[in-house]
A and B are shown apart, each in its own frame.
Chain A
Amino acid sequence: GAVVSQHPSRVICKSGTSVKIECRSLDFQATTMFWYRQFPKQSLMLMATSNEGSKATYEQGVEKDKFLINHASLTLSTLTVTSAHPEDSSFYICSAREGPWSEETQYFGPGTRLLVL
């Protein structure tokens, strides 16, 4: 099956710094990537949807200036948490889809655990 990787798997940073998380589709070209956030023992909350070559579409309540998403190629999307604060600590998961929804499944990455001190 299709494989999606994320890097890093875990990151600890100081408050006020920025952190970049990469999401890669390893064996397919992802026209669309999704970024989710998951709090402990809770469900996944969609943050934004990014289409290759276009600006990301953010969900209501998600600050686009704080969570910068770049989908510059068909195999890579990045999420940058700018000026991170302890409340940004969470598990961030990306998913990628190759083509039209009716034919394709979202494949999820293994997640990145962010801890802001």
Chain B
Amino acid sequence: AQSVTQLGSHVSVSEGALVLLRCNYSSSVPPYLFWYVQYPNQGLQLLLKYTSAATLVKGINDFEAEFKKSETSFHLTKPSAHMSDAAEYFCAVRGRPDNFGNEKLTFGTGTRLTIIP
């Protein structure tokens, strides 16, 4: 089984400050890990994904995340927060395939990021 824990349901940072959103995972198979962003009343947009290549993954809008197997973590960072970064962020882990070969995503509970002007 797989699970994702996002520490901190709400995170507030000042504009221009470092953004750090935490994600820890549990997986019975080598994990594929994802970060998604959701703006109000919208679907999810992929920020970045880790698929067993480089442990430091760069995504859109200057976000990046580092896979640390020893810590079972995949924290999301951005050097300088922008007002437009205010949104809900979800970490997700891929699971085992079902009988059709579909590998489902398990999402964390999300972290709401607020940017302080």
Binding site for B on A (CB under 8 A): 4, 6, 32, 34, 41-44, 46, 49, 51, 54, 57, 91, 93, 95, 100-102, 105-111, 113
Kindly provide the distance from the CB of B9 to the nearest chain A CB, expressed in whole angstroms: 8
Chain B residues with CB below 8 A from A43, complex form: 90, 107-110
Enumerate B31-76 residues with CB–CB distance to A below 8 Å: 32, 36, 41-46, 49, 51
Q: By the criterion CB–CB under 8 Å, are A44 and B104 in contact?
A: no
State whether B107 touches A44 (Cβ < 8 A): yes
Among B42, B43, B97, which residue has its beta carbon within 8 angstroms of that of A101? Answer: B97
Contacts of A107 in B (CB 8 A): 46
A101 engages B94 (CB within 8 Å): yes
Contact of B44 among A49, A54, A108 (CB under 8 A): A108
Contacts of A109 in B (CB 8 A): 43
